[in-house]
Amino acid sequence: MKKVMIAAVFACLWAAPVRAEDSHESVAEDAIKALGTFNDILATIKDKASADDAKPKLKDAGGKLADLKVRFDKLGEPKGEQKEELDKKFKPKMEEVTKKLQNEMIRIATQIEGGQDILKDITSHLAPLGKK
């Protein structure tokens, strides 16, 4: 029975889809999705209690963003024509999600009691993105 289970596990692993090699495009797409998720979580914060409820979700989303930074760093900065193509394709959407992120953070800081403290916690999940 043990041999059958081990064989089944190996069969599943072998058949599982393998992640394709990363590209700047795949990282950009994943980053936009991850920031969108982060924004959605921020939008649920209406008070201290909802901020506390959001903490584990923010930590998870922040971890995904940190993983994306590692993936991007491995690829390095795009250059020349590739950078222009990526900017053309992704810059408008990236600007949209980062603007929403800024607006949500401003809303939390200015309209929610204890917002400054909540914001410190939120920014701690974004801190790995600024590291070189």
How confident is the model over 8-41, as pLDDT tens digits?
A: 333 333 333 334 578 999 999 999 999 999 999 9
Q: Total structural domains in the chain?
A: 1
Cα–Cα distance, 90 to 121 (Å, whole number): 28
Q: Which domain holds residue 97?
A: 22-130
Q: Is residue 15 part of a domain?
A: no
Instruction: Record the pTM.
Output: 0.77
Dump pLDDT digits (tens) for 35-84.
999 999 999 999 999 999 999 999 999 999 999 999 999 999 999 999 99
Residue 113 lies in a domain: yes
For residue 5, being part of any structural domain is answered with no
Question: Does some domain include residue 9?
Answer: no
Asked if 35 and 65 touch (Cβ cutoff 8 Å), the reply is yes
Show the tokens assigned to 47: 């008070």
Inter-residue contact 93 to 32 (CB < 8 Å)? yes
Within a domain: 6: no
Counting Cα atoms < 13 Å in the Cβ hemisphere of 69 gives 15
Alpha-carbon span 14 to 32, nearest angstrom: 30
